[in-house]
């Protein structure tokens, strides 16, 4: 992004995106660049828009990446309210209708606390779907992806080509998979004690 002589240190540059990613909960995203901001990125809701504060030196690619990260972070904070099993079942029914024409009909959909290596599981013979409690608080599109994944197993039990073709109907499959892979990778990082004074 070329330097704008009208915006000097102390006067943040502004750019607005009118259509944020679906599910972000805001109708507009405003990115404010500041020469005084060196490393930190933050975001908050302001009415019906999301304001993301970034250092002025960031490239457009970094800006896009950080906007996505901060939208996900805000969504996770706002989704702290845990859906109950009834709401989860209703959501699964809506997703089945939307992506599979209502053909995937689970007999039960519930949260479980005994799945620490899987995000979800399905028993097609029983029609039951279980989601790991670790998904609670994650962005809506991620929970929806796991639900759609398990709903697809009611129609195609394995992970063959037919199964993955079904998942193509859900438009945020790749993004959700990337998010979950990032969570797994972060869990594998060594957790070092914080340095004194931080």
In this predicted model, what pLDDT tens digit does every residue of 157-191 receive, in sequence order? 889 999 999 999 999 999 999 999 998 888 887 76
Q: Name the pLDDT band for 34 (thresholds 50, 70, 90).
A: confident
Same domain, 119 and 68: no
46 or 78: which carries more pLDDT confidence?
46
Q: Name the pLDDT band for 147 (thresholds 50, 70, 90).
A: very high
**16 has pLDDT over 80:** no
**46 has pLDDT over 70:** yes
In this predicted model, what pLDDT tens digit does every residue of 125-137 receive, in sequence order? 999 999 998 898 7
In a domain, 62, yes or no: yes
What is the tally of structural domains in the chain?
A: 2
DSSP-based three-state secondary structure for 130: strand
Same domain, 122 and 169: yes
Which class for 112: exposed (0-12), middle (13-18), buried (19 or more C-beta within 10 A)? middle
Supply the range of the domain harboring residue 41: 28-79
Same domain, 124 and 62: no
Do residues 95 and 172 make contact, with C-beta atoms less than 8 angstroms apart? no
Nearest CA among 125, 116, 124, 126 for reference residue 183: 116
Give the other-Cβ count within 10 Å of 141's Cβ: 20
């Amino acid at each position: 992004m070329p330097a704008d002589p009208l915006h000097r240190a102390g006067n943040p540059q502004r750019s607005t995106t009118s259509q944020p990613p679906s599910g972000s909960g805001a109708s507009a995203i405003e990115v404010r660049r500041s020469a005084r901001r060196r490393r930190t990125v933050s975001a908050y809701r302001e009415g019906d828009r999301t304001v993301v504060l970034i250092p002025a030196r960031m490239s457009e690619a970094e800006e896009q990446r950080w906007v996505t990260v901060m939208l996900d972070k805000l969504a996770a904070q706002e989704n702290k309210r845990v859906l109950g099993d009834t709401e989860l079942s209703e959501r699964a029914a809506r997703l089945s209708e939307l992506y599979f024409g209502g053909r995937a009909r689970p007999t039960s959909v519930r949260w479980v606390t005994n799945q620490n290596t899987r995000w979800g599981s399905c028993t097609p013979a029983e029609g039951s779907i279980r989601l790991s409690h670790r998904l609670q608080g994650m962005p809506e599109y991620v929970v929806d992806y796991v639900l759609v994944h398990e709903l697809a197993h009611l129609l195609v039990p394995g992970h063959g080509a037919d199964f993955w073709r079904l998942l193509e109907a859900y438009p945020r499959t790749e993004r959700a998979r990337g998010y979950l892979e990032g969570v797994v990778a972060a869990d594998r990082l060594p957790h070092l004690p914080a340095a004194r004074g931080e």
